[in-house]
Chains A and B, each alone.
Chain A
Amino acid sequence: MLLTSYEFIGFLALVIIINYLCPKKARKYFLLAASVLFYATAGLWGLLYIGAITVLVYISSRLIGKNQEAYAVWAKENKAVLPKEQRKAYREKQAGKRLLFLTVAVILCLGVMVIGRIPGLIAPMGLSFYTLQALGYLIDVNRENIKPERNFFKLSLFIGFFPQLVQGPISRYEELAPSLFEGRDFDIKNISLGVWRIMWGFFKKLVIADRLFSGVQTITSDTSKYRGAYILVLMILFSLELYADFSGGIDIVIGTAKALGIDVQENFIRPYFSKSLKEYWRRWHITMCNWFRNYLFYSVSTAKWLQKFSKFCRKRMGEAFGKRLPLYVATFIVWGATGLWHGFTWNYFVWGLSNWFILMLSEELEPVYEKIRGHIPFADKLPYRLFQMGRTFLLVCCMNLFDCYSSVGDTLGMFGSIFTEGNFGILFDGSLAGIGYSLSDAVIIAAGLLIMLCVSLLQRKGSVRERILRLAPPARYALFTCLLVAVLLFGIYGVGYDSTQFIYNRF
């Protein structure tokens, strides 16, 4: 069931009504049943995967929790009795046991994820999203940031809450659980905010992303005809499509949760306004980046072997470089894993490593940049900031090419053709009319992008929806009608047409 399908709208309306009719305490169970039903529509076999992950994580988190409780009792009883060294040895032994439970569970869960994503098989919907979310929960339990959930059904709902099952956001237990299990009372403001957000998501997905899709498809489908300047056009069109598609989908997810009174974490903060790649990764797919930082980067970079390696490097290579090298090793592992999380192909792996390389190079060159900025009189003014944003956007566009072609060779070949083909004339001679957009398509895309840009600019001063809801009712209804009509008239859909699959569904 696609988030933009008629079925989903009907399903959602029913879920919202029944949810608020249910007694408060029963709402979480109803939402779990609705989530199972939602997931079952994508194929019953998919339930096996999510079921396996949930059972694995439940059992291991309970084992870890029990060990923590037993250790706490022991530590209290023996604090005044045993010497410090003996207590330390016992503490480390117990921590080792918990680490064993955690490692086994992580390996098994990753095993399930790998089996589900073997190239050639149909991957179960949202597998890599809910696996990360479940593992994050388990690691938080092991770090004693949260207590393990005793109620299996509550944990199942956390892992499988239906809207975010498809493409995230990847929530942390401590952030999602309170509003997910509370069963908040009906509040018309939540419904309004939710419906506005869902409609805005529909606009981004159906009017902008799905209309951009045909041009992207045309260019990528013929590598001998569409080369050179076409690739420049492709990477910009695809990056805009990707943002409208992914953030539009996330708007539908967060809006759906909001209408049910549930707070889901934001996943984007106007990422294409970033002034560096480092900033971009704080504003794009935020929950995934936070996951890799909190659970992988911190774990790897504080691991004993890496700290030892750090000491070794400082002795042999000097303080300055020796200090940084282990960090680069840790970030290499993290970006390699981030690439592979997107797909077990060389393309995604190289994409991950390109990000790593540019981020590390920027880190190394920062003193040089600072000197250069010192010589630019307008370095803190708008034109320079716009230059930085444009540069970062282009950089991201280049790396997004890895997502357009299926092999590293094709991707690099196509990228290289921008510089060798010398066909920049196609940008002005009307050739672009042949990539699959009619004049009306072009006008709708341009208008849609302009509206999205204006909304992004307005967002910098706070929530646009909150401001709309403060308007007088006639103005509010008129605006909503405009948005609805725009989606109905200009959205790519209709009888017999099922909206294009979300790009991030495949990850």
Chain B
Amino acid sequence: MAQMDKLMEILTDLHPEIDFETQDGLMDKAILDSMDIVHLVTEIGDEFDVTISAKDLLPENFNSAQAIFEMIERLEEE
């Protein structure tokens, strides 16, 4: 759970005005723009020691905090 907290911290630092607990469609609805996405890639890469590549930058991986978290877990396993 500590890992999820870390992710939430990164997300709220980026956009304090968004409630990431409930918000979905982050990428589909362009709530996060391409600059935000790349910003997240760098932050997550530092914090979690995973490498997110261009092929991972899909709506299904970035539409919600939960989806991002699941992607991180998958990448950690690889």
Task: Tell me if B42 and A307 are in contact (CB < 8 A).
Answer: yes
- CA of A88 to CA of B78 in the docked complex: distance in angstroms? 8
Task: Tell me if A323 and B34 are in contact (CB < 8 A).
Answer: no
A278 to B, closest residue via Cβ: B33
Known A88-B78, A143-B54, A144-B55: A298·B39 in contact at CB below 8 Å: no
Residues of B within 8 A of A294 (CB): 57
- CA of A143 to CA of B42 in the docked complex: distance in angstroms? 20
Residues of B within 8 A of A331 (CB): 35
Task: Tell me if A145 and B55 are in contact (CB < 8 A).
Answer: yes
Task: Tell me if A323 and B42 are in contact (CB < 8 A).
Answer: yes
Task: Tell me if A302 and B78 are in contact (CB < 8 A).
Answer: no
Task: Tell me if A302 and B35 are in contact (CB < 8 A).
Answer: no
A465 near B: Cβ within 8 Å?
Answer: no
Q: Give B34-76 as 1s and 0s: 1 = Cβ < 8 Å from A's Cβ atoms.
A: 1101110110011000001111011000000000000000000
Residues of A within 8 A of B37 (CB): 298
**How many contacting A-B pairs (Cβ < 8 A)?**
42
Known A88-B78, A310-B42, A323-B42: A293·B58 in contact at CB below 8 Å: no
What is the predominant secondary structure among interface residues of chain B facing chain A? helix
Task: Tell me if B30 and A302 are in contact (CB < 8 A).
Answer: no
A198 CB to closest chain B CB (Å) equals 30
Known A282-B30, A327-B35, A327-B38: A302·B58 in contact at CB below 8 Å: no
B58 to A, closest residue via Cβ: A145
A103 near B: Cβ within 8 Å?
Answer: no
A297 near B: Cβ within 8 Å?
Answer: yes
Task: Tell me if B55 and A143 are in contact (CB < 8 A).
Answer: yes
Task: Tell me if B54 and A302 are in contact (CB < 8 A).
Answer: yes
A-B contact pairs, 14 of them (CB 8 A): A88-B78, A142-B55, A144-B55, A278-B33, A282-B30, A293-B34, A297-B38, A301-B38, A301-B41, A307-B41, A307-B42, A323-B42, A326-B42, A327-B38
Q: Which residues of A contact B (CB under 8 A)?
A: 88, 91, 142-145, 278, 282, 293-294, 297-299, 301-302, 307, 310-311, 323, 326-327, 330-331, 363
The list of the 4 closest CB pairs from A to B, nearest first, reads A143-B55, A298-B54, A301-B38, A299-B54
